[in-house]
Amino acid sequence: MSETHVLAEGATLNSFGHDPWWIIGLKALVVFVFLLLTVLITVWAERRIIGRMQLRPGPNRAGPFGILQALFDGIKGALKEDIVPRGVDKVVFFLAPILAAAPAMVSFSVIPWGGVVSIGGHKTPLQLADLPVAVLLPLAMASIGVYGFVLAGWSSMSPYALLGGLRSSAQVISYEIAMGLSFVAVFLFSGTLSTSEIVAAQAHGTAFKVAGMTLHTPSWYAVLLLPSFIIYIFTMMGESGRIPFDLPEGEGELVAGYHTEYSSLKFMMFYLAEYVNMTTLSALCTTLFLGGYRAPWPITWFWSGANSGWWPVLWFLIKIWMFTFFFIWLRAALPRVRYDQLMKLGWKVLIPVSLGWILFVSVVRALRNEHHDVGPIMIVAAIIVVLLLIASFLWERVSASEAQPEEAEAAAEQDPMAGGFPVPPLDAPHYHGVGNGRAPNSAEATRA
Amino acid sequence: MHGYYGTYLTVVVLFAIGAAIVGGAFLANRALRPHRPTPEKLTTYECGVDPVGEGWAQSYVRYYVFAYLYVVFAVDAVFLFPWATVFSAKGYGYVTLGEMFVFLAFIAAGLAYAWKKGVLGWV
């Protein structure tokens, strides 16, 4: 495949803003229909796949292989009686599910699902919108989606819902920082925040020749920036609020978390938000790390037309569904983590590791730009990483052996029934610098 | 529909379609669903037991610490984005790198301070 051919098919920022209104409307409609259909299929696929993993059939009555089950459940759920408990704040209670579902859908508008195609004689990129700061939009929308969960919890006037909403917000904002940091390395390489240009930047690695053949270094950022990719996978799980990080709705503790009091269509909105989020996060990961809509390497090697016309949509769908399957697989395979483990992973592992990784990547980039040899830096970095791992391992062993007796002592101090009914310890001692040793205050969390 | 703001206009269009779909769905829902409230149905759900007191429970006040930390770190992360895009352009050499190292050192110091204070740990 020649270089000019590739460039002609890929979209850039300049490809946007030339569409007539009906193409914009069509694309917006397609985004909505695609997301709603994907949710239906994902719900069905999840139940079938988890059924298979648990040696049971899963839904198999409605339609062939039960594929209509999700649709019927959706219709039935939306037609149920809508119970609004007496105590709730009615306006906020109504707005919260919309606030949760809408941002998840808006995020998808900056995801490219194909290159430039011709619709009715117009050349148009298969992407609803692209901005010079496109990747900021999903991050911003994730933050707005948090309002939906918090306000749902707050307006329900129920302890379970309130705790679920608070947990959800703390979890999502904690993981969003690490998510933003994991993107920085991608921007360092692509030099842009526009999603279509990030996809274009992953089109080719640098060429090198072996035995007369021209080969390319891997061009996907998932390979080039593997640590960023792994951090994103963790944050993606945290952001989506699914197992193993589904603490906000841990049914053993909180009934159903922030949507305990919701029923009928309002509940379906939260359900929709969760699954749309899953698709959007998968699509974002595909775009930033897996070369977006571009065909994977072995296919482009023997089929030069793989990236032209409508074919990219197929590669895009395959990549998204790989991630969706990954989500479902994790749900079947992993137990729920504890809340302190969740926060520890987010703040004490993912964020420091991201910061260190950004430093490393930027140094390597700078040296390469100035045509220096990066070999020594790599060796020094490898030594530092190994030393840190050993140090954190030792620290964990030492602090684990120290922590045992103190924890038992602390448990004895608290009166769990103070005030006549169970209350959590509101005034934790380590806020005042007392008993600081008991707080897990150091590298014991470096279980990356 | 043209130019720089045209691409933002498409986002507005998407918003409008979304509002229409949501509004239509709620109207249809209101028209089609049954509505038979009873006093028991309208109580707050507490696993079958009558709710104790009214409204909210006491909850961990420490959630607000994470909100503060989020504001600090998310803003910092956003400052990294423009730096990352111009970083490898001509004329931005080691000085740019050094400046960002200083900036990241400040963030790291903030994180280390929070860590030392023990607010990152969950009891």
pLDDT digits (tens, 9 = 90+) for A68-97: 888 898 888 888 888 888 878 888 888 888
Cis preceding linkage at A244, omega within 30: yes
Residue pair A410/A375 in contact by the 8 Å Cβ criterion: no
Give the CA angle between residues A406, A409, A413 to the nearest 5°: 135
- Between the CA atoms of A140, A133, A291 and A109, what dihedral angle is there, to the nearest 10 degrees? 60
**Probe site for chain A from B4, B8, B11, B14 (most A CB atoms < 10 A):** B14
Measure in Å the smallest separation between the Cα of A211 and chain B Cα atoms.
32
What is the percentage of chain B residues whose pLDDT exceeds 70?
78
Q: How many CB pairs under 8 A join A and B?
A: 245
CA distance A111 to A283: 7
Provide the pLDDT confidence category of residue A191 given band limits of 50, 70 and 90.
confident
CA distance A377 to A360: 9
Does residue B54 sit within a domain? yes
Residue A315 has pLDDT above 60, yes or no: yes
Work out the number of other CB atoms within 10 angstroms of the CB of residue A45. 18
What SS3 state is found at A32?
A: helix
The verdict on a CB contact (< 8 Å) between A193 and B85 is: yes
Provide the pLDDT confidence category of residue B30 given band limits of 50, 70 and 90.
confident
A77-80 CB contacts, 8 Å cutoff, 24+ apart: A77/A264, A77/A265, A77/A267, A77/A268, A77/A271, A78/A264, A78/A265, A78/A268, A78/B25, A78/B29, A78/B33, A79/A264, A79/B29, A79/B32, A79/B33, A80/A263, A80/A264, A80/B33, A80/B34
Residue pair A284/A194 in contact by the 8 Å Cβ criterion: no
Does residue B20 sit within a domain? yes
Give the CA angle between residues B70, B75, B80 to the nearest 5°: 125
The verdict on a CB contact (< 8 Å) between A174 and B70 is: yes
> For residue B61, what is the DSSP state?
T
CA distance A240 to A277: 6
Work out the number of other CB atoms within 10 angstroms of the CB of residue B54. 9
Provide the pLDDT confidence category of residue A42 given band limits of 50, 70 and 90.
very high
Residue A379 has pLDDT above 50, yes or no: yes
Q: Which of A27, A86, A363 sits opposite B42 (nearest CB)?
A: A86
Q: Which of residues 370-429 of A touch B (CB under 8 A)?
A: 370, 421, 423-426, 428
pLDDT at A44: 92
Closest-approach residue (CA) in chain B for A94:
B26
Measure in Å the smallest separation between the Cα of B89 and chain A Cα atoms.
8
Q: Is the ipTM of this complex over 0.90?
A: no
CA distance A33 to A36: 5
pLDDT at A440: 45
Rounded to 5 degrees, φ, ψ at A124 are -145, 140
**Between residues A49 and B8, which one has the greater pLDDT?**
A49
Residue B43 has pLDDT above 70, yes or no: yes
- Residue of A143, A234, A343 whose CA lies nearest to B62: A343
Residue A263 has pLDDT above 80, yes or no: yes
Q: Which of B8, B36, B88 sits opposite A81 (nearest CB)?
A: B36
**Probe site for chain B from A347, A395, A414, A436 (most B CB atoms < 10 A):** A347
Section A425-435 average pLDDT: 52
What's the 3-state SS for A221-283?
A: HHHHCHHHHHHHHHHHHHHHCCCCCCHHHCHHHHCCHHHCCCCHHHHHHHHHHHHHHHHHHHH
Section A18-45 average pLDDT: 85
> For residue A126, what is the DSSP state?
S
Instruction: Kindly state whether A16 is in contact with chain B, defined as any CB-CB distance less than 8 angstroms.
Output: yes
Residue pair A156/A260 in contact by the 8 Å Cβ criterion: yes
> In this structure, which amino acid lies at residue A215?
L
User: Which residues make beta-bridge pairs with A215?
Assistant: A208
Domain range for B102 is 3-116
A415-423 CB contacts, 8 Å cutoff, 24+ apart: A421/B52, A423/B58
Residue A429 has pLDDT above 70, yes or no: no
CB environment A73-103: b (16+ within 10 A), e (fewer): bbeeebeeebbbbebbeeeebebbbbbbbbb
Does residue B123 sit within a domain? no
Instruction: Kindly state whether A366 is in contact with chain B, defined as any CB-CB distance less than 8 angstroms.
Output: yes
- Residue of A186, A145, A358 whose CA lies nearest to A286: A186
The verdict on a CB contact (< 8 Å) between B17 and A32 is: yes
Alpha-carbon distances, residue A72 vs A40, A68, A145, A257, A332 (angstroms):
10, 6, 27, 25, 24
CATH classification at residue B68? 1.20.58.1610
Show residues of chain B in contact with A19, CB under 8 Å. 1, 10
Residue A448 has pLDDT above 50, yes or no: no
User: Which residues make beta-bridge pairs with A214?
Assistant: A209
CA distance B91 to B97: 12
Lowest mean pLDDT among A69-78, A140-149, B76-85: B76-85
- pTM to 2 decimals? 0.80
Task: Name the CA radius of gyration of chain B, rounded.
Answer: 25
Show residues of chain B in contact with A162, CB under 8 Å. 56-57, 59
- Say how many domains are in chain B: 1
DSSP A402-416: HHHHHHHHHHHH--T
Residue A211 has pLDDT above 70, yes or no: no
Residue A307 has pLDDT above 60, yes or no: yes
Domain ranges of chain A: 3-343
- Here the tokens at position A237 are 């799980």
Provide the pLDDT confidence category of residue A437 given band limits of 50, 70 and 90.
very low
- Here the tokens at position A309 are 């016309």
**Between residues A352 and A3, which one has the greater pLDDT?**
A352
Give the CA angle between residues B101, B106, B108 to the nearest 5°: 90
